[in-house]
């Protein structure tokens, strides 16, 4: 920071806001009072008479020496590291800050490892929402800036190297359109109790634009559940959900039926409560099939019928967007995967899954 005569400060960066007071007939009630020049403003020749009229005979400035980048120019480079497909920026920098907004409905995906690598670089920052959750067009996703008013080119280059070649944030649209819900249980098949599971699943799917076009109640026998999965696959649905029969009891045959139907199981079990018994698998479409990608098959535990937020809500947004899940995606759910069972559930605005 350096103190210069106002006339000598042209081309330098202001270190503080400069407040201007414009009085009218009543000096006690000025017509305007506020920052005329913001911190970070680069002094231009035409600013000098205004600053002198404000009583500013000297200014504290940062000098833009060779190899140094102004915060606004740095913000534009930083946001280029962040904003990926399905996003847009808030426009020109404001005090060195630029926000990233959703440009479509979908699921927010954040590359956590590369985000951490960028934030490990001194004098820069990127803050995002938690990835894996649904967003709507116009939602605020991320914000970025550099910490000082000016930053060295070398420091910016380190942040860019840490970010790599792909943007840190993107929004994948919801691609799946149709689903089959297979409600297992002999008591449901026999009509002894009402199927209350399917309506809950239908409502959850509708939130992502997915229509339940096939419903079945095959009972508990493995062969019958396999036949129901085969029927759903032949119908060409984008997603198959098998509800119930997911515990380790001897007569709970849903996991075995999903395997017997040919599904490639990614995980049976997740470090989340409620919902530890979730199964996620994929039916790999043969060459020439009607699907461009494998068809997800979910074994949904009973807790999803009566708990507002379960493991299903943590994975369904990505599944609805056609994002292929791996075992590592479920391992990461352990931290934040304990629902506290609050009397008034505020999911997704809560620590669960975050």
What's the whole-number mean pLDDT along residues 154-180?
A: 97
Name residues whose C-beta falls within 8 Å of residue 257's C-beta, 6 or more positions apart in sequence.
Answer: 222, 225, 226, 229, 242
Domain-located, residue 165: yes
- Give the model's pLDDT for residue 285: 72
> Can you give the pLDDT at residue 60?
81
Cβ atoms of residues 338 and 273 within 8 Å: yes
Same domain, yes or no, for 48 and 91?
A: no
CA angle 193, 194, 196 (to 5 degrees): 125
Per-residue pLDDT reduced to its tens digit, 90-128: 988 877 789 999 999 999 999 999 999 999 999 999 999
Q: Per-residue pLDDT for 251 more than 60?
A: no
Give phi and psi for 297, each to the nearest 5.
-125, 120
The residue ranking higher by pLDDT, 250 or 86, is 86
Six token digits for residue 161:
């190297």
Q: Does some domain include residue 340?
A: no
First to last CA, the chain: 41
Q: What is the Cα–Cα distance from 19 to 13, expressed in whole angstroms? A: 16
Q: What is the DSSP letter of 203?
A: H
Taking the C-alpha atoms of residue 233 and residue 257, their distance in angstroms, rounded to an integer, is 14
Q: Are residues 182 and 309 in the same domain?
A: yes
In contact, 185 and 257? CB cutoff 8 Å: no
User: Do 138 and 82 lie in a common domain?
Assistant: yes
Q: Are residues 97 and 166 in the same domain?
A: yes
**Is 249 part of a structural domain of the chain?**
yes
In a shared domain, residues 51 and 77? no
- Residue 309 belongs to a domain: yes
**pLDDT reported for residue 72:** 85
Pairing of strands 32-37, 18-22: antiparallel
Average pLDDT over residues 219-244: 95
**How many C-beta atoms surround the C-beta of residue 87 within 10 A?**
22
C-alpha–C-alpha distance, residues 62 and 318, integer Å? 46
Helix (H, G, I), strand (E, B) or coil at 155: helix
* Mean pLDDT for the chain overall: 90
* CATH code for the domain of 261: 3.40.980.10
Single residue among 124, 148, 172 that ends a domain in this structure: 172
Q: Give the domain extent around 237.
A: 178-334
pLDDT at 324 over 60: yes
Q: Encode pLDDT of 273-309 as tens digits.
A: 999 999 999 999 755 566 668 999 999 999 999 999 9
Are residues 238 and 161 part of one domain? no
Given a contact cutoff of 8 angstroms between Cβ atoms, the answer to whether 83 and 170 are in contact is no
H/E element, 72:
helix 71-82
Task: With a cut of 80, say whether residue 192 has pLDDT above it.
Answer: yes
Q: Of all residues in the chain, what percent carry a pLDDT higher than 90?
A: 67
Count CB neighbours of 330 within 10 A: 21
How far apart are alpha carbons 140 and 127 in whole angstroms?
11
pLDDT of residue 28: 54
Please determine, for residue 322, whether its predicted confidence score (pLDDT) is greater than 80: yes
Give the number of C-alpha atoms closer than 13 A to the C-alpha of residue 73, restricted to the C-beta side.
13
Whether residue 57 sits in one domain with residue 89 = no
Do residues 192 and 144 share a domain? no
Residues 82 and 55 reside in one and the same domain: no
pLDDT range class, residue 25, cuts 50, 70, 90: low
Q: 83-87, 118-122, 190-194: which has the minimum mean pLDDT?
A: 190-194
Task: Answer whether residue 115 is part of any domain.
Answer: yes
Tokens of 58: 């000297």
Q: Is residue 347 part of a domain?
A: no
């Amino acid at each position: 920071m350096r103190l210069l005569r106002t006339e000598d400060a042209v081309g330098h960066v202001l270190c503080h806001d400069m407040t201007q007071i414009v009085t009218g007939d009543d000096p006690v009630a000025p017509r305007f009072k506020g920052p005329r020049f913001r911190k970070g403003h680069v002094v231009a020749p035409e600013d000098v008479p205004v600053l002198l009229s404000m009583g500013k005979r000297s200014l504290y400035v940062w000098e833009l020496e060779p190899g140094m980048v102004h915060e606004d120019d740095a913000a534009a480079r930083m946001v280029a590291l962040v904003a990926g497909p399905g996003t847009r920026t808030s426009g020109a920098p404001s005090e060195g800050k630029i926000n990233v907004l959703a440009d479509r409905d979908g699921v927010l995906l954040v590359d956590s490892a590369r985000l951490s690598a960028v934030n490990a670089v001194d004098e820069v920052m990127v803050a995002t929402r938690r990835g894996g959750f649904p967003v709507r067009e116009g939602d605020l996703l991320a914000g970025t800036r550099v910490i000082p008013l000016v930053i060295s080119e070398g420091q910016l280059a380190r942040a860019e190297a840490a970010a790599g070649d792909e943007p840190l944030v993107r929004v994948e649209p919801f691609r799946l359109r149709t689903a089959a819900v297979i409600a297992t249980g002999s008591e449901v098949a026999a009509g002894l109790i009402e199927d209350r599971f399917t309506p809950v699943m239908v409502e959850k799917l509708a939130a992502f634009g997915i229509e339940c076009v096939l419903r079945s109640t095959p009972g508990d026998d493995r062969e019958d559940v396999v036949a129901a999965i085969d029927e759903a696959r032949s119908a060409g649905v984008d997603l198959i959900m098998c509800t119930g029969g997911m515990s380790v009891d001897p007569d709970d045959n849903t996991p075995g039926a999903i395997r017997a139907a040919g599904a490639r199981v990614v995980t049976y079990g997740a470090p989340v409560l409620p919902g530890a018994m979730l199964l996620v698998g994929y039916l790999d479409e043969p060459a020439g099939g009607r699907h461009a990608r494998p068809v997800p098959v979910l074994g949904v535990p009973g807790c999803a019928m009566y708990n507002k937020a379960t493991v299903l809500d943590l994975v369904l947004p990505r599944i609805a967007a056609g994002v292929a899940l791996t075992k590592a995606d479920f391992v990461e759910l352990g931290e934040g995967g304990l629902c506290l069972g609050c009397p008034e559930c505020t999911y997704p605005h809560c620590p669960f899954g975050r």
